[in-house]
Structure 1
Amino acid sequence: MSERINIGNNAFILPEPQTILGTMLDGKPNFMAMAWVTRVNYDPCTMAMAVNKKHASHRAILETGQYSINIPSVDMVAVTDYAGLASGNRTDKSGLFEVHFGELENAPLIRACPLAMEFRLVERFSMSNDTLFIGELAAAWTEERFLTDGHVDVEKVRPFTLTMPDNRYWAVGEQVGRAWHDGKALRESSKD
């Protein structure tokens, strides 16, 4: 086995889920590419995301207390990347996507995204560069064509991920196992 080497203290989770953050900024929809997001509680469904304090989306969340997290498909890579390249502080991105609204008036949902979720802000933690926003899911929206047995199907959604610091997007690959299943044989054998 090769020797392990220290690569420093600025590492990333591989891969990160690529999403699009939706907010209402000065009364208009605004969007930002976002990958620093994860679920942090089961019931109620709660997710956390880190947003840089300089972003217009940061200000919008503080002002409204609502936002959306939209899951784009692989055919949306270019427009997702643009949503991250163009600053909402200088660019009006309100016409970038066709939107609809669900339960919350300040959480624009992207119609083209296979999965769109709207959140109410419940907590925030300030850090040196970013704020960790924690939101409770108000509702999740999809279409029948993205479901299998009533659940969102990753093969039908075709999401993509981000890797950093190489800054590349990746399609989700093949299934390699089943969670809460494939380790059962090891668990049983360790009881001996």
Structure 2
Amino acid sequence: MSSKPMVARGVAAAVAAAIVYLSFAGCGYRLRESSQPMGNELTSLAIPLMESTSSTIGFEAEFTQIVREEFIRYSQVPLVPRERAAAVLIGRIHEIRTEPFSYSLNRTQVQDTTRNYPVTRSRWLYVTMDAKLVESATGKTLWEVNGLEEKSTYTVGTDPLANRAYERSAIEEIARRLAERMFQETMERF
């Protein structure tokens, strides 16, 4: 068997690999670490307390902490105070609303008549917000997404304290999902 066909195959493979490499390099494709933003270099980030115009109060600090933890866990970009940050991630929650998700029927006897009353057993919880990343030095908006919305369900029972705990858990779950989306926008969008 001649070594010429093997050499020709090797050369052809090397040429094909070079073409693939050059086509990726020519179109701007490059490998990067997933914890680093694409494009512009983000040297530091501030995430101030999320604002809320919703009628639900008292969750803003927890929500902000969950967003910060997402960046701390998956990014190599240091979180710093707003005055020292290269960029600021600003979030504003517009609305937190609930809607019934599932019901059960309670049968009640009223004056010799049986009545069925629907009772809510679980609810949808929706959170709608806007988020943007602003360059500190110029005030330029690097990315902005309005109307981010996530939803989750939670159980409703007869104990108001338990209901409140279930609702808080649903808000935390939604905050984690929204934090993930803001992280992805920051690291992959620009």
Higher helix share: 2
The higher relative CO (CA closer than 8 Å, separation ≥ 6) is in 1
TM-score by length of 1: 0.21
Q: Rg bigger for which structure?
A: 2
The TM-score, its normalising length taken from structure 2, stands at 0.21
